[in-house]
C-alpha cells in the first residue's frame, strides 16, 4: 500500500504515559467493533495490568481485538496473563519469538518496534511509548521522557489499512524487485494534515529516513530533533550540517542521562563533526530521553517509534506520523524549547572530544561504519521473522466466532 497526505484530521500531542495511557484506555473502553494494538514492550506491572484489564473488558463485550508484541521486547508475560485474554477471544501474536540460547535472547535484529493502536475506524495512536510503569512521571529518576499522538480523521483509515494488510495472510504480494519510494510530497500544504509512514525490510526500507532528509533540505529557519538513540547514517549527519551552514538554526536534543551508557558514548563520537558545522547539541539531563520527534520551521512535525540509529534506520519495523499543522508544530516547539531551557546542558567546545590522532582514528572508523552500515546489514543473520499466534486455553464461544466471521470486525481472525 501507499499512503497519501490526508487533510481534516484532529491531532493531539500526548506527553509520557501520564497523558498517553488514559487516552488509549478511554478509547478502548469506548470501542464498539475492533481494536488493533502493536507494541514493542508490554510489562506485567501496574500499567501493563491496566491495559490487560481494559482489553479483557472490551473482549468480553464482543469487541474483536488483535495484539502484536515483539518477541525480544516482551518475552516475559506468563501463560496466565496471556491466557486470560486469549480465552476471552483476543488474538495474541508475537513477532519473531525465539527461545533464549544459554540464557541470552537471540532475536536481537529486525525487531517489531512500532507502537500503534487503532480503535474501530475512529481514533489511532502512533508514537514511541511502550506499556510499562517507567513511562510514568512518578516512576522516579529513571522515568522516560517520551511522546505520542492521538489522531482522528481520514489518516486513521490509512493506519488501519496498514495494520490489516500486515496480518497473516493479508500481506500484499511481494515483488522480486525492490522499489525505492520517494517521500510523498504535500502538493497542497494546509492545516491538520497527516501522512502515515513506516519502515520495513521490503519496499519501505528507508522511507522514514528520507522524510528526515527531505525536511532538512527544505528547512529555512529552524529544525529541532529530539531523539533517544542518536547514531544515524552519514547522509543524515551531512544534511544536518549542511542545513546549519546555510543559516538554519539546527538544535539536537540527545540523552544526557542515558538508560544505556553506550548511547552517550556513540552520540559523543559525532559531536565534533556536528558542532564544528554549526549544529547546537543539548544533552537532556533530567531523566532518560526516549522520544523520537522532530519539527521544522512553523508547520512540519514527526512523532513516532523510529530512533535515528542503525537498528531503527536499517533493521527494525517502525512507524511515524508526519504532520503539517502550525498549531501542533507550536505545541511541540513550546515543549522542546522548555526542555532545552530547563533540563538540558548545551554541548560546548569543552565537551567536544579533543582533536588527537586517537580521536581522529575513532571518528574515521565511525563515519565509515555509518556510511556503509546499510550494506553491512546484508551480512547479518538472514532469517525471516515469523508471527506466532498464542493459542487460547479455552476456545471462544461459537457465537462470538460467528459474529466475527459475519463481518462484525471486517477482518477474519
Known catalytic residue at 115 = yes
Q: Among the residues of 221-301, which ranges form H helices?
A: 234-245, 261-268, 271-276
- DSSP 8-state symbol, 408: I
- How many angstroms from the chain centroid is the CA of residue 41? 12
Instruction: List, in sequence order, every residue forming a beta bridge with 226; answer none if it has no partner.
Output: 253, 293
Q: Give the whole-angstrom CA distance, residue 380 versus residue 243.
A: 33
Per-residue burial over 365-387, b if 16 or more Cβ lie within 10 Å, else e, is: ebbeebeebbeebeeeeeeebee
Known catalytic residue at 292 = yes
Known catalytic residue at 402 = no
- Residues ≥6 apart with Cβ < 8 Å to 265: none
At CA 176, angle to CA 157 and CA 373, rounded to 5? 85
Helix (H) or strand (E) run with residue 48 in it: helix 46-60
Cα pseudo-dihedral 80, 81, 87, 91, rounded to 10? -130
Q: Which three cell numbers stand for residue 117?
A: 493502536
Known catalytic residue at 297 = yes
Of 64, 292, 299, 324, which one is the catalytic site residue?
292
Of 52, 64, 70, 115, which one is the catalytic site residue?
115
Known catalytic residue at 259 = no
Known catalytic residue at 120 = yes
48 and 131 Cβ atoms separated by less than 8 Å: yes
Q: Among the residues of 188-257, which ranges form H helices?
A: 207-218, 234-245
Q: Give the whole-angstrom CA distance, residue 99 versus residue 214.
A: 41
DSSP characters for 52-119?
Answer: HHHHHHHHHTT-EEEEEEETTTS----HHHHHHHHHTT-EEEEES----BTTB----SS-B---EEEE
Q: Give the whole-angstrom CA distance, residue 112 versus residue 39.
A: 8
Of 64, 70, 96, 113, which one is the catalytic site residue?
113
340 and 233 Cβ atoms separated by less than 8 Å: no
Of 290, 299, 309, 324, which one is the catalytic site residue?
290
The SS3 of residue 285 is coil
- Distance between start and end Cα atoms, the chain: 21
Of 12, 19, 297, 408, which one is the catalytic site residue?
297
Of 44, 45, 120, 259, which one is the catalytic site residue?
120
Show which residues are catalytic. 113, 115, 120, 290, 292, 297
Amino acid at each position: 500500500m501507499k499512503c497519501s497526505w490526508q487533510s481534516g484530521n484532529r491531532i493531539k500531542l500526548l506527553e509520557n504515559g501520564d497523558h498517553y495511557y488514559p487516552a488509549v484506555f478511554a478509547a478502548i473502553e469506548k470501542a464498539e467493533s475492533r481494536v488493533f494494538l502493536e507494541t514493542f514492550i508490554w510489562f506485567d506491572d501496574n500499567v501493563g495490568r491496566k491495559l490487560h484489564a481494559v482489553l479483557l473488558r472490551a473482549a468480553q463485550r464482543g469487541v474483536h481485538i488483535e495484539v502484536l508484541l515483539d518477541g525480544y521486547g516482551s518475552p516475559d508475560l506468563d501463560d496466565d496473563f496471556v491466557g486470560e485474554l486469549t480465552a476471552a477471544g483476543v488474538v495474541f501474536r508475537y513477532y519473531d519469538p525465539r527461545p533464549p540460547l544459554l540464557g541470552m535472547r537471540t532475536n536481537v535484529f529486525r525487531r517489531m518496534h512500532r507502537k500503534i493502536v487503532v480503535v474501530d475506524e475512529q481514533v489511532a495512536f502512533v508514537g514511541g511509548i511502550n506499556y510499562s510503569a517507567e513511562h510514568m512521571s512518578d516512576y522516579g529518576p529513571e522515568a522516560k521522557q517520551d511522546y505520542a499522538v492521538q489522531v482522528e480523521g481520514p489518516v486513521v483509515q490509512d493506519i488501519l489499512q496498514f495494520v490489516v494488510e500486515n496480518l497473516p495472510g493479508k500481506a500484499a504480494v511481494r515483488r522480486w524487485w525492490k522499489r525505492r519510494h520517494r517521500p510523498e510530497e504535500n502538493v497542497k500544504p494546509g492545516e491538520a494534515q497527516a501522512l502515515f509512514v513506516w519502515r520495513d525490510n521490503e519496499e519501505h526500507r528507508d522511507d522514514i529516513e528520507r522524510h528526515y532528509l527531505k525536511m532538512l533540505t527544505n528547512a529555512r529557519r529552524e529544525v529541532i530533533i529530539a531523539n533517544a538513540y542518536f547514531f544515524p547514517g552519514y547522509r543524515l549527519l551531512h544534511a544536518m550540517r549542511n542545513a546549519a551552514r546555510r543559516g538554519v538554526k539546527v538544535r539536537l536534543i540527545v540523552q544526557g542521562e542515558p538508560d544505556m551508557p553506550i548511547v552517550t558514548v556513540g552520540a559523543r563520537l559525532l559531536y565534533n563533526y556536528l558542532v564544528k558545522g554549526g549544529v547546537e547539541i543539548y544533552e537532556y539531563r533530567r531523566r532518560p530521553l526516549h522520544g523520537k520527534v522532530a519539527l521544522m520551521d512553523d508547520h512540519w512535525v514527526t512523532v513516532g517509534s523510529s530512533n535515528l540509529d542503525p537498528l531503527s534506520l536499517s533493521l527494525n519495523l517502525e512507524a511515524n506520523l508526519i504532520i503539517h499543522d502550525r498549531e501542533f508544530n507550536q505545541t511541540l516547539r513550546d515543549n522542546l524549547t522548555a526542555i532545552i531551557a530547563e533540563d538540558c546542558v548545551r554541548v560546548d567546545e569543552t565537551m567536544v572530544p579533543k582533536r588527537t590522532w586517537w580521536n581522529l582514528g575513532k571518528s574515521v572508523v565511525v563515519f565509515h561504519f555509518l556510511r556503509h552500515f546499510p550494506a553491512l546489514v546484508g551480512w547479518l543473520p538472514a532469517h525471516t521473522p515469523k508471527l506466532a499466534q498464542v493459542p487460547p486455553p479455552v476456545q471462544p464461544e461459537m457465537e462470538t466466532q460467528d459474529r466475527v466471521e459475519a463481518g462484525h470486525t471486517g477482518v477474519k481472525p
